[in-house]
């Protein structure tokens, strides 16, 4: 299921068909749900009964929009349709505050992270921790609005700007320590109970963020025992499934998990990995059906 058709969705469909499964792409924007226990796919003009036959035995949720994907997943689960990932996982991973709390609760190593609920307290926290400090929106992807704040003046400007935004989420402040890492981070992909691949992500020239969607490059990363253990603990902390675990290397503390992604993009990883990531995801989806 998608709301913008990307390379990953096409690759998943192609792999499912090659493996002999009856699969199709469903545009989430065409779906309508009802409390009567039925839904309608307006693209094919049919009502779908609660057994979910018309959508198949399992749905791989790939919506870019966090809220669209989240609430469609809730509707699908209400109809008894297994969905990857589950609503609870999507809700946790899609909100950085909730994700950080889940990781901390399960003793997964993370950068020191602080939350504030007023402009004044956000500035107080930043001043007490010292600069630079990393400011992040609690909902967002691709590194958008993630800012390394260099000094108090910059922090006050960011807070002033966010206080003027109409979105209530802009008034919740998520501040994370600036980890002095190598010029890269690690993206590991967990499928079920396995770390299927990992890559180093290097920022594009002149960029601080390592997101491949922003021009970063990928190189294979060996899966050490420490990396495997850290990733599986992080995946278990948020509820498991198909996940992208983002990790930084700290010289003193080792590996630190700074984000867990619910709808993981894997084109960059696939370009340098010897593992067929799409096949791993499809095979896992079928195991969910049989469980």
Q: What share of the chain is helix, strand, coil (3-state, %, to 5)?
A: 40, 25, 40
Q: Do 80 and 66 belong to one domain?
A: yes
What pLDDT, on the 0 to 100 scale, is given for residue 44? 59
Query: Distance between CA 280 and CA 52 in Å, rounded?
Result: 24
Could you please report the per-residue DSSP string of 237-284?
HHT-SEEEEEEEEETTTEEEEEEEESS---HHHHHH-SS-HHHHHHHH
Q: Do 19 and 71 belong to one domain?
A: yes
Tell me which of 126, 151, 177 is where a domain ends: 177
Question: Which of the four pLDDT bands, split at 50, 70 and 90, describes residue 53?
Answer: very low
Using DSSP's 3-state secondary structure scheme, residue 25 falls into coil
* pLDDT tens-digit series, residues 99-142: 999 999 999 999 999 999 999 999 999 999 999 999 999 998 77
Q: Do 78 and 120 belong to one domain?
A: no
In a domain, 98, yes or no: no
Q: Do 169 and 235 belong to one domain?
A: no
* CATH code: domain of residue 261: 3.30.470.20
Among the listed residues 194, 243, 191, 185, the one whose alpha carbon sits nearest the alpha carbon of residue 216: 185
Tell me which of 92, 122, 155 is where a domain ends: 92
**Between vectors from CA 224 to CA 220 and to CA 225, what angle results, nearest 5°?**
155
Q: Do 187 and 227 belong to one domain?
A: yes
Average pLDDT over residues 15-20: 97
Domain enclosing residue 199, as ranges? 180-290
* pLDDT tens-digit series, residues 144-171: 889 999 999 999 999 999 999 999 999 9
Among the listed residues 169, 164, 190, 288, the one whose alpha carbon sits nearest the alpha carbon of residue 247: 190
Q: Do 160 and 225 belong to one domain?
A: no
Among the listed residues 260, 265, 263, 254, the one whose alpha carbon sits nearest the alpha carbon of residue 100: 260
* pLDDT tens-digit series, residues 234-272: 999 999 999 999 999 998 999 999 999 999 999 999 999
Among the listed residues 289, 284, 244, the one whose alpha carbon sits nearest the alpha carbon of residue 267: 244
- Better-predicted residue by pLDDT, 143 or 6: 6
**Low-confidence winner among 35-39, 68-72, 144-148, 166-170 (lowest mean pLDDT):** 35-39
Tell me which of 177, 206, 228 is where a domain ends: 177
Q: What six digits make up the tokens of 124? A: 């107080």
Q: Do 87 and 119 belong to one domain?
A: no
Q: Do 258 and 216 belong to one domain?
A: yes
* CATH code: domain of residue 140: 3.30.1490.20
């Amino acid at each position: 299921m998608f709301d913008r058709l990307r390379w990953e969705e096409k690759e998943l469909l192609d792999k499912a068909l090659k493996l002999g499964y009856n699969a199709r792409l469903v545009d989430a924007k065409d779906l309508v749900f009802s409390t009567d226990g039925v839904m309608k796919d307006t693209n094919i003009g049919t009502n779908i009964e609660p057994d979910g036959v018309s959508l198949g035995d399992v749905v791989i949720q790939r919506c870019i929009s966090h809220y669209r994907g989240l609430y469609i997943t809730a509707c699908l689960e209400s109809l008894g349709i297994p969905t990857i990932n589950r609503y609870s996982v999507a809700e946790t991973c899609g909100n950085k505050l909730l994700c950080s709390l889940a990781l901390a609760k399960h003793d997964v190593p993370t950068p020191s992270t602080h939350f504030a609920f007023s402009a004044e307290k956000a500035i107080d926290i930043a001043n007490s921790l010292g600069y630079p400090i990393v400011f992040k929106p609690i909902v967002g992807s691709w590194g958008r609005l993630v800012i390394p704040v260099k000094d108090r003046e910059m922090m006050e400007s960011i807070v002033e700007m966010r206080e003027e935004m109409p979105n209530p989420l802009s008034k919740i402040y998520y501040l994370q320590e600036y980890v002095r890492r190598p010029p890269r981070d690690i993206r590991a992909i967990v499928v079920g109970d396995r770390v299927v691949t990992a890559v180093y992500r290097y920022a594009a020239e002149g960029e601080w963020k390592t997101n491949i969607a922003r021009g970063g490059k990928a190189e294979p990363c060996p899966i050490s025992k420490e990396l495997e253990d850290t990733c599986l603990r992080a995946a278990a902390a948020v509820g498991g499934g198909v996940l992208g675990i983002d990790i930084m290397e700290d010289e003193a503390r080792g590996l630190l998990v700074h984000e867990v992604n619910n709808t993981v993009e894997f084109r960059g990883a696939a370009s340098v990995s010897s593992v067929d990531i799409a096949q791993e995801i499809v095979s896992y989806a079928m195991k969910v059906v049989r469980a």
